[in-house]
A and B are shown apart, each in its own frame.
Chain A
Amino acid sequence: MSRRRTSIVIVALMLAPTLVLLALFNYYPAVLGLSRAFTRWETGEAPQWIGVGNFVAMWHDEFLRLSLRNLFILLIANVLKTLTMPLLVAELLMSLRSPRWQYILRTAFILPMVVPGMVTMLLWSFIYDGSVGLLNQLLEAVGMGALARSWLGESGTALWAIIGIGFPWAGGLALLIYLAGLNQISGDVWDSCQVDGVSGLRRVWYVDLPLLLPQVRLLVILTLIGTLQDFGSILILTGGGPGLATHVPALHMYFQAFRFGHLGYAAAIGLTLFVAIFVLSLLNLLLGRRLERLI
Chain B
Amino acid sequence: MPQQTATIFLATVSGNYREGFHRLAREYERAHAGVQVRVQVMPVNGYETWLRTQIPGAGDRAPDLFNANYAWGMYEKGLLVNLAPYLNRRNPYTGKAWIENLNPQFIEKFKTAGGVSFIPVDFVEIGFYYNASLFRRLGLQPPRTWEGMLALAERIRAAGYLPFAVPGNADSYWSGTVGWIVRFFTDAYTRQWVPLVMSRPGDWDYDPARNANFRLNLNDPYNDSLVIINGERLLDAVRRRIIRFDDGRFAELYAHIKAFSRYWQRGFHGANSVTAYNLFLTQRAAILLEGSWLIGDLMQDMADLPPRARFEWGVFAVPPLTTSRFKVPPFRGVGGPGLVLGVVKKNPQQTARVIDFLMFLTSPQGAQILVDEAVRHRRTLSGPMLIPGVKMPPELQRYYRPFEGRGFEKLSFRGLMDEQESVWQWTVWAQRYMEGRVSLQEFLRRYQRLMEEAVPRVIAMQKLDMNPRTKDVPS
Contact = CB atoms under 8 A, between A and B. Distances in A.
Contacts of B428: 63, 241, 243-244, 247
A43 interface: yes
Contacts of A158: 270
B472 to A, nearest CB: 16
Given A239-B170, A260-B421, A152 B52 contact: no
B442 to A, nearest CB: 12
Interface stretch (A88-96, A99-107, A125-133, A174-182): A125-133
Given A131-B278, A131-B279, A153 B269 contact: yes
A243 B270 contact: no
B435 A44 contact: no
Interface residues of B, number: 35
B86 to A, nearest CB: 24
B437 interface: yes
A242 B432 contact: yes
Contact of B431 (A150, A151, A241, A260): A241
B427 A241 contact: yes
Contact of B266 (A128, A130, A240): A130
B284 interface: yes
Contacts of B429: 243
Most chain B CB within a 10 A radius of its CB, from A129, A158, A242: A242
Given A153-B271, A158-B270, A242-B435, A131 B77 contact: no
A67 to B, nearest CB: 11
Interface string A249-285: 0000001001111100000000000000000000000
A120 interface: no
Given A63-B428, A241-B169, A153 B278 contact: no
A289 B14 CA distance: 58
Given A128-B270, A130-B267, A241-B269, A155 B437 contact: yes
B436 to A, nearest CB: 9
B269 A242 contact: yes
Given A129-B275, A130-B271, A154-B270, A239 B169 contact: yes
A90 B37 CA distance: 58
Given A238-B169, A241-B428, A130 B77 contact: no
A116 to B, nearest CB: 15
B351 interface: no
B268 interface: yes
Contact of B52 (A241, A247, A261): A261
B169 A149 contact: no
B148 interface: no
Contacts of B424: 255, 259-260
B425 interface: yes
Interface in B260-292: 265-271, 275, 278-279, 284
Contacts of B460: 42
A74 B57 CA distance: 36
Interface in A108-132: 128-132
Interface residues of A, number: 31
Contacts of B168: 153, 242
A150 B268 contact: yes
Given A63-B425, A258-B52, A243 B437 contact: yes
The secondary structure that dominates the A interface is loop
A152 B266 CA distance: 12
Contacts of B402: none
Residue among B56, B77, B275 with the highest chain A CB neighbour number at 10 A: B275
A112 to B, nearest CB: 24
Interface centre among B53, B170, B267, B268 (most CB of A within 10 A): B267
B56 A44 contact: yes
Main secondary structure of the interface of B (DSSP, over half): helix
Contact of B435 (A43, A155, A240): A155
Contacts of B211: none
Nearest to B173: A241
Nearest to A132: B278
Contacts of B217: none
B420 interface: yes
A149 B266 contact: yes
Contacts of A151: 267, 270
B79 interface: yes
B171 interface: yes
B289 to A, nearest CB: 16
Nearest to B77: A44
B270 A152 contact: yes
A56 to B, nearest CB: 16
A153 B56 contact: no
A30 to B, nearest CB: 18
B49 interface: yes
Contacts of B461: 42, 261
Contacts of B431: 241-243
A155 B429 CA distance: 12
A238 B267 CA distance: 12
Contact of A243 (B57, B79, B435): B435
A154 B171 contact: no
Nearest to B55: A44
Interface in A130-160: 130-132, 149-155, 158
25 contacts: A43-B56, A63-B425, A130-B266, A130-B271, A130-B275, A131-B271, A131-B278, A131-B284, A149-B267, A150-B267, A150-B270, A154-B269, A154-B270, A238-B170, A239-B169, A242-B269, A242-B270, A242-B432, A243-B431, A244-B432, A247-B428, A259-B424, A260-B420, A260-B421, A260-B424
Given A150-B269, A243-B431, A244-B428, 16 more contacts: A130-B266, A130-B267, A132-B278, A150-B268, A150-B271, A151-B270, A153-B267, A153-B268, A153-B270, A154-B435, A158-B270, A240-B170, A242-B435, A247-B428, A258-B52, A259-B424
Closest 8 A-B residue pairs measured CB to CB? A153-B270, A150-B267, A44-B56, A153-B267, A150-B270, A242-B269, A243-B432, A239-B170
